[in-house]
Chain A
Amino acid sequence: MSKQEQHWEKSRGLLFMTLAIWFVFSIGIFLFGAEMNEVTGPFGYPLTYWFTCQGSLGAFVILIFWFANRQEKIDEEFGFSERGDD
């Protein structure tokens, strides 16, 4: 397998992992919204309610930065990262 194919395979793996986490916070939780809302979540809010106003939103922010860092590592590993910028 060429270097480029390996790079793409790893990138694709990262994509699937990212999308899986995304799925949990954007869809998975709300499949069980009614049941989970019985539970008291962070800061004392009902749990599902908390996810809709803070939890899922915050998770997405963290997820994107995590994804960006992982992808950068993959690019560096195969020597495909850009030079001379931030």
Chain B
Amino acid sequence: MIKGNFIDNLPKVYGIYTGGFLAFIIIMSIAEQMGMTAKTIGICFVAFTVAIYAIIGYLSRTAQADAYYVAGRQVPTVFNGMATAADWMSGASFVAMAGGIYFKGYGYMALLVGWTGGYVLVASLLAPYLRKFGCYTVPDFIGTRYGGNLSRFMAVVVLTVASFTYVTAQINATGTIASVALDIPFQYAVYVGLVSILLCSMLGGMRGVTWTQVAQYIVLIIAYLLPVFWISNKMGAGFFPHFMLADEVSRIAELEAQFGFVKNSAENLKEVPKGLAGITKAHSAVNATPWAFISLALAMMMGTASLPHVMMRYFTTPSVKAARKSVGWSLFFIFLLYSSAPMLATLSKLSLIDPTLPTGIIGKSISEVQAIDWYQNWNQANLMFVSDFNGNGTLELNEFFMGGKAVVLATPEIAGLPYVISGLVAAGGMAAAMSTADGLILAIANAISHDVYYKIIDPKAETAKRLVVARVLLVVIGFAGATIAALEIQGILGSVIWAFDFAMSGLFFPLVLGVWWKRANKEGAIAGMFLGLVSGAAYLIWVRTGGSGFLGITQLTFGIFGSAVSLVAMVVVSLMTSAPNAATQKMVDEVRIPSGKSILGKQH
């Protein structure tokens, strides 16, 4: 049970936890030396870490509304930063990002800029003001600032659409990892993943999620950085890869020039299993138009500032001041992983394509490559494929295909690291996907239980009943997400990007103008949320069904269109209708200064 002094002991508690985890890694590597099989190691890693999260989740159980919704508003700055970083970095960041950079190079790295730059908007435009407001959920702010059940309900709708799109991808990722690590079919593994996720959040709500997310951050950052440093040292690329890979980057450019990017015919590509890709774009050279790069970065930045699972993490800090600082810490912890992803992609790419390295496969004969152990393993897992398109018997750059996940999952093995590292990476990926899924499911369930059930349907409900409703919703939403994830409709990364676009279409301007424009009123906000979401969704459907789009806005950046419509609608409708009343204006004034009581009471 968490005692009163638990908060003071946090550094010690997590210090011991980190030491214990490192000891576990060492024990596993000794076990590997003694002959433990790869499969058992994988199972141990995933089972051990998930069991720890479940214990933390159980210890954090609570029956109080403010502990359940905002972790009692006592999470210290740095720890909230870690929790946010875990909340933020999803299975996509962990497993798919380095792969994206590997295939698409510079153009893809707009996501790195977008997914970090958004935090500047969070810190300066929103987080401290929403913290001062004292809300439990994002729709709580919209509903109180603008007034009326309709505005509150619209915010819940936008939040649910965006978060649900996002969460299915995360449950999918936990299922993928669980199915590989535990060796069970994906349809069942999805539910194993879901149960693990619910163990963290069911009993303790936000409090449970907070303390498991800190634990998950520690696992995922160790699991990401250790292999990067190890591979870099093993290849002799440099002791500290981030500062020392310039030669490797220019060597890749040299090899690209030497091999050239040969375009495969459509007929040849039919042979390649679905989901695998080859290297078709330059690694470090600018390979995208400025607008393609900037529009993607901009959409991700505005999406970051509108996604509820990030925003609600800043409701848990003790003060407004702490909320601001906490955003900085969040980004620092995210930076540790994001700045390593391009390094991993560089190391992975060079080790595969450089014929002078022992691991290089380009230029070798096809039969030789097909005889390599790791190639056979990953080919069987449907993540690697070679084919002799030009019939010359040697493997060319355009004849080698890989799945996006393989860059993170397979590089340790290709570089010849012990299997214990692969087990660690599986545990890290699981932690990344679980922590994000938890944050999102909680965001949806809290919005529906607090804003729809308590604020709109039954304002007299007692705390105990509210929390039962919240927990039932958590399970229902989790199962709905898992059911859709089991259908495997879309890829992990695509649906993550869509979630950002949906969120920015409907929520960015209603949130920002709620603080920064006193004249914004209820009618304007409702119009902004409704028209923004609808026009964004319509644009997506139009482009998906063969529409040509305009201004270079693609299905990945449709939020730019949606949010522009939202802004115009909100301003026009606000100005056409009457200004908000004096009480609301005074409330906005109050929000703008950190001192004094929050707008909404401690229990509401």
Contacts and interface: CB of A to CB of B under 8 A. Distances in A.
Interface of A: 4, 7-8, 11, 15, 18-19, 22, 25-27, 30-34, 37, 43-46, 48-49, 51-54, 56-58, 60-61, 63-65, 67-68, 71-72, 75, 78-83, 85-86
B126 to A, nearest CB: 11
4 tightest A-B contacts by CB?
A44-B246, A53-B342, A26-B117, A52-B109
B294 interface: yes
B297 interface: yes
B313 to A, nearest CB: 15
Contacts of A61: 116, 328, 331-332, 335
B548 interface: no
A85 B592 contact: no
B284 A46 contact: yes
A86 B297 contact: no
29 contacts: A15-B125, A26-B297, A26-B301, A27-B298, A30-B113, A30-B293, A30-B294, A32-B290, A37-B285, A44-B250, A45-B284, A49-B284, A51-B113, A57-B116, A57-B338, A58-B335, A60-B331, A60-B335, A61-B335, A64-B124, A64-B327, A72-B321, A72-B324, A75-B593, A75-B595, A78-B593, A82-B320, A85-B321, A86-B319
A58 to B, nearest CB: 7
A67 B324 contact: yes
Interface residues of B: mostly helix, strand, loop or mixed?
A: helix
B120 A27 contact: no
Contacts of B293: 30, 33
A10 B595 CA distance: 16
Contacts of B245: 45
Contacts of B77: 86
Contacts of B290: 30-33
Q: What class of interface size applies to chain B in its complex with A? A: 35 or more
B550 interface: no
B103 to A, nearest CB: 15
Nearest to A84: B319
Interface of B: 76-77, 106, 109-110, 112-114, 116-117, 119-121, 123-125, 128, 242-247, 249-250, 284-286, 290, 293-294, 297-298, 301, 318-322, 324-325, 327-328, 331-332, 335, 338-339, 341-343, 589, 592-595
A64 B123 contact: yes
A67 B339 CA distance: 22
A2 to B, nearest CB: 10
A81 B324 CA distance: 13
A52 B284 CA distance: 10
A33 B294 CA distance: 10
- Determine which residue in B298, B321, B593 has the highest number of CB atoms from chain A within 10 A of its CB, and name it: B593
B113 A22 contact: no
Nearest to B247: A44
Given A45-B249, A85-B319, A86-B76, 12 more contacts: A26-B297, A30-B297, A34-B286, A45-B246, A49-B249, A57-B116, A61-B328, A61-B335, A75-B321, A79-B595, A80-B594, A86-B322
B324 A68 contact: yes
Contacts of B328: 61, 64-65, 68
B321 A56 contact: no
A54 B242 contact: yes
B339 A46 contact: no
Contact of A81 (B120, B327, B592, B595): B595
Given A4-B593, A48-B106, A57-B112, A18 B120 contact: yes
A27 B243 CA distance: 24
A4 B119 contact: no
Given A27-B297, A56-B117, A57-B339, A85 B318 contact: yes
Given A71-B324, A82-B594, A85-B319, A63 B120 contact: yes
A43 B246 contact: yes
B120 A22 contact: yes
A16 to B, nearest CB: 10
A82 B293 CA distance: 41
Contacts of A48: 106, 286
B242 A25 contact: no
Given A27-B297, A53-B112, A82-B319, A33 B593 contact: no
Nearest to B284: A49
B106 A49 contact: yes
A46 B77 CA distance: 35
A53 B595 contact: no
Given A52-B112, A57-B112, A58-B335, A8 B285 contact: no
A49 B108 CA distance: 11
Contacts of A4: 589, 592-593
Contacts of A44: 246-247, 250
Nearest to A41: B246
Given A31-B290, A45-B249, A52-B106, A81 B113 contact: no
A26 B118 CA distance: 9
Contact of B124 (A33, A34, A67, A75): A67
Contacts of A15: 124-125
B325 A60 contact: no
Nearest to B339: A54
Contact of B243 (A37, A43, A51, A86): A43
Name the residue in A11, A27, A67, A72 with the highest tally of chain B Cβ atoms < 10 Å from its Cβ.
A27
Contacts of B125: 15
Contacts of A65: 325, 328
A53 B593 contact: no
B117 A25 contact: yes
B157 to A, nearest CB: 29
Contacts of B594: 75, 80-82
B595 A60 contact: no
B125 to A, nearest CB: 7
